[in-house]
Structure 1
Amino acid sequence: MKTPAAFILMVFFTVGMIACKNKSSQKEAPFPTAKVFADVNIVNINNGHITKGHVVVDSGKIQRILPVSEDEADVIQEAELINGKGKYLVPGIAEMHAHLPSVIWNDPQMEEVLFLYLSNGITTIRGMLGHHLHLELKEKVANDKILGPRIYTSSPSLNGNTVTSTEQATEMVTAYQKDGFDFLKLHPGLRLHVFDQIVKTAKEVNIPFAGHVSSLVGIRHALESGYASIDHVDGFLEGLVPESAGVNPTENGFFGYNFTDKADTTLLPDLVKMTKTHQVWVVPTQSLFTRWFSPTSAEQLASEPEMEYMAPEVIENWINSKKNLTETKGYSTEQWEKFLQIRKKLLRSLQENGHGLLLGSDAPQVFNVPGFSIQHEMQAMADAGLSPLQILQMGTINPARYFREEGNFGEITEGASADLILLDKNPLEDIANMQRPHGVMVRGTWMSREQIDQRLKTIADKYDELKK
């Protein structure tokens, strides 16, 4: 049964059809199974311009973008209308530092995590700790066997424990490329000669690599080696420490925190320039540092509403992890504030003069609930001085460029995948308006706010029962 608003819109289009009956009365509707976002404010993600129109979706694609005009009524005469009047339509968001459980594709835990991403408008994820099970999951999602965001998945971790020789490096990189992983995930602890062999082999077999920068590799060598992306802004703060300081690189602490007072920000421009020269994207995951590594108490974060969608034992582990990290002799609020200011300065410079930023929050990580954490990440980007449009581009058109998929997703254009978020307020005025979407569409499947809330309640009720 249609809502009153949808009924009014149908009347509007019916009047239009009568007016042009001579040309359309005998036609079969071009998109008989279509959904139409009617009379909606369409956000151009490239320039921030907003135009009113009707967005016609069919077969998982954006088929037509029409002006608000009676002349096109015959195109959408049989469509299911989604009332967009007074609302804003933006492309679906990419979470560029996501994690997935290592379970089979149809496991309820997997379905739950994928839904949590979708509930906040995340329609693409880049899985950053791959497993062979994720290869089948990716295929099932692409073929609509399971509802979830588009998936790109890394290999299992390459780190100082999993790959200890050049022979292992060659063998593992070659195997992961043949297995079909989209890229290699690098973790800390790699020795320099092993890292170099990973890079050499990756280039030979044509597989990208991304992730952390090992302390024995260093940010400059990492950038010169051609990372696809460096995540967490890893290695950059260490790169601001002059050689004259004579520090031991392995004593850097949490992403360079221990070197905060030694950082020389006059070295920042050259470091940022290197990201542009070598075309290395950066994924900030700033919410790690404003939440897990912040002075905010674990109990306060654990009481946030979104925590009801996580298992009680997960929340308990997060509380302990945060306390173990921040309730130590070497941690102070004053040093954290200096550390955070340096990161913010890095982010602004990378946005203005670097190759580009990608939106990623590292979920699920400590107090980063899948889907919901991207809202914290966007706010952290705003707090660092980025505009709402720049933040939205980090999660839409920039990932499309990163994956060389421009025109296929990341913008509202004819022929693109129908990955869309309908919002009640203009996100270009306040990035917080991205919270609680009116509805989310992924590859043409529409989820209304009511459906999202119902599923979220089911998840919350399940975990609430476990607390009793």
Structure 2
Amino acid sequence: MKILKRLLKIVIALMGLLVLTVIITLWVDSLGTNYLKINKNESHFNNSYIITNVNVVPMNQDTVLLDKMVFVKEGIIETIADTIEVDGIQIFDGEDKYLTPGLIDMHVHVWDRYELGLYLSNGVTAIRNLWGMPMHLKIKEEVNEENIFSPAFFTTGPKLTGREFIGDDNLNLTNPSEAKEKVISYKDRGYDFIKTYYGLDGEIFDAVIEQAKISEIDIVAHPSQKVPFSYHLNPQIKSIEHAEEIVQQPLEFDLDTIKLQPIINTISQSNHTSYCPTLTVFNNIYQMMMHDSILDSEALEFMNPLIKKVDSENQFNRWFNAKQEDSTTVNRIKNQHDFHITIVRKLHEAGVPIICGTDAGIGVTLPGFSIHKELKFYKEAGLSNYDVLKTATVNASKTHSIMNSMGTIEPGKIANLLLVKENPLLTLETLENPTYVFVKGRKLNRETLDSFNENGKHRKNLVATALRYLENFIVEK
């Protein structure tokens, strides 16, 4: 009996030590992102001021408003005019630069707070996280309470799949009742959207859609192969993800523009569905096959250490082996990417709202940096600079009602803004290195933004990330 008591004490002590280790690990990691904390004791002018001598790219029309003043009051755009006079207000000289809405990445996977700084440094002032976990609710709370500098943060709940096991990173639904319960739960817990995923059959999908309508929560759909593609044009579904899914499902990998057109026509007739192509993440398959040393590149240092160690390496090995087994794989992937460009062009010509998304945070798709690559692909598809910029501003903001307060520069909108050196309607590349980023009116200069990059590049939080991912299994499974 005494031996059992001693063993019990040892077990309890070890468990206590384990819990303490977990707490310390997460605490130390949280200290690493203290540079993102907002000092609320700063002057009350920090998000109220007048920007003078600035050229405004409003994005509610294809124009530039030259030599304007912009009055930002407590983080909200109050007035845009030739002359504004307000007593006791800070004046900020725009130095004849260009003021644009902040960029919005509508398809990301966030793994830590360091990534929030990487998005900001690249001019991304709002993100839609599409792989929700409990850690994202904590981030969302910090952002909404304005405790940290971050893009506006929106997140789905966990990815919903059907009865068929697809992977341990998805939530398998076994019946319609369970599906409805999960939708209710996610809405109550604070998730912004529902993410439907590969593998949902009609019966369960119907239940998700029905409950989402009752619960007044939008759906973001990664198309399921268990239902017709047109199934995803339900009014409750606000965006469909991935151009590659058009190739893989209704076209069955037949890169035929004649067969593509009826699919495009069907999408355009929905009048309520946006399309998020995520061309970058698929193109990165080609990049991995073309560059054998990509995992050792300096750029990959911006990936979360756990994701780089697990997902980046696994994806690289998968496609490296595929190339070795069949040399035609490289051309097949390149041809499919080129066809994705055609899909974007056809969607645009048909009037389908295109929203910019990168799938950043998985494989070798970098948080923040990848949005500029995505925008270049839309330009390659034939979109004008204005229409390209719309995908990451006004189009994105119109997708969900809770995002309507951003995406353009006009009175009443949140002052999530970029100050850039050149006119982006002529030179898209100017967006890659904004002089200032404004988050709810708070100004971040280039030096601060570069420091965000450096901190993200040198983080060492593999274990902390693993613990947060483990929390997802404990809470959600």
In 1: Cα distance, 2:58 partner to 2:75 partner: 20
SS at match of 1:204: helix
Alignment-mate amino acid for residue 58 of structure 1: K
Matched, 1:141 2:143: yes
Matched, 1:56 2:68: no
Aligned to 1:193: 203
In 2: Cα distance, 1:297 partner to 1:307 partner: 16
In 2: Cα distance, 1:407 partner to 1:195 partner: 27
The residue correspondences of 1:246-265 to structure 2 (distance < 5 A) are: 259-260=252-253, 262-265=254-257
Matched, 1:269 2:261: yes
In 2: Cα distance, 1:454 partner to 1:406 partner: 28
The residue correspondences of 1:19-418 to structure 2 (distance < 5 A) are: 34-51=48-65, 52-67=67-82, 69=83, 72=84, 74-75=85-86, 78-81=89-92, 83-101=93-111, 109-110=112-113, 112-160=114-162, 161=165, 162-224=172-234, 226-233=236-243, 235-241=245-251, 259-260=252-253, 262-278=254-270, 279-294=272-287, 296-302=289-295, 305-311=298-304, 314-317=307-310, 318-328=312-322, 329=325, 332-404=329-401, 408-418=405-415
Q: TM-score, normalised by structure 2?
A: 0.78
Give the 3 Å change call, closer, same or farther, for CA 172–429 of structure 1 in structure 2. same
Give the 3 Å change call, closer, same or farther, for CA 201–63 of structure 1 in structure 2. closer
Deviations 1:138-180 (A, max 9, x none): 2331221222111221111101341122232222223223333
Shift of 1:446: 0.6
SS at match of 2:79: strand
SS at match of 1:167: helix
Q: TM-score, normalised by structure 1?
A: 0.79
Query: What's the C-alpha RMSD, in Å, of the aligned pairs?
Result: 2.7
Deviations 1:324-354 (A, max 9, x none): 1353135622222321222111111111214
Shift of 1:319: 3.8
Shift of 1:126: 1.0
Q: Is the 8 A contact 1:229 1:283 kept in 2?
A: yes
In 1: Cα distance, 2:87 partner to 2:384 partner: 36
Deviations 1:18-63 (A, max 9, x none): xxxxxxxxxxxxx897333221111121222112212222211112
Q: Is the 8 A contact 1:38 1:84 kept in 2?
A: yes
Q: 5+ unaligned residues in a row in structure 2: which ranges? A: 1-44, 166-171, 464-477
Shift of 1:303: 5.4
Give the 3 Å change call, closer, same or farther, for CA 96–75 of structure 1 in structure 2. same
Q: Is the 8 A contact 2:98 2:420 kept in 1?
A: yes
In 2: Cα distance, 1:32 partner to 1:376 partner: 32
Alignment-mate amino acid for residue 36 of structure 1: I
Q: Is the 8 A contact 2:289 2:330 kept in 1?
A: no
In 2: Cα distance, 1:303 partner to 1:164 partner: 42
Greater relative CO (CA pairs within 8 A, separation 6+):
2
Deviations 1:167-224 (A, max 9, x none): 3222222322333322111121222322222223322333221131111213122225
Between the aligned residues of both structures, percent identity stands at 27
Q: Is the 8 A contact 1:308 1:463 kept in 2?
A: no
Give the 3 Å change call, closer, same or farther, for CA 217–437 of structure 1 in structure 2. same
Q: Is the 8 A contact 1:141 1:150 kept in 2?
A: yes
Give the 3 Å change call, closer, same or farther, for CA 141–385 of structure 1 in structure 2. same
**Range 455-464 or range 55-64, more displaced:** 455-464
Give the 3 Å change call, closer, same or farther, for CA 219–171 of structure 1 in structure 2. same
Q: 5+ unaligned residues in a row in structure 1: which ranges? A: 1-30, 102-108, 242-258
Shift of 1:311: 4.9
Deviations 1:366-396 (A, max 9, x none): 1222111111111122222222211111111
In 1: Cα distance, 2:158 partner to 2:459 partner: 31
In 2: Cα distance, 1:312 partner to 1:184 partner: 28
What is the aligned residue count? 405
In 2: Cα distance, 1:197 partner to 1:375 partner: 38
In 2: Cα distance, 1:175 partner to 1:311 partner: 29
SS at match of 1:176: helix
Alignment-mate amino acid for residue 215 of structure 2: V
In 1: Cα distance, 2:46 partner to 2:456 partner: 35
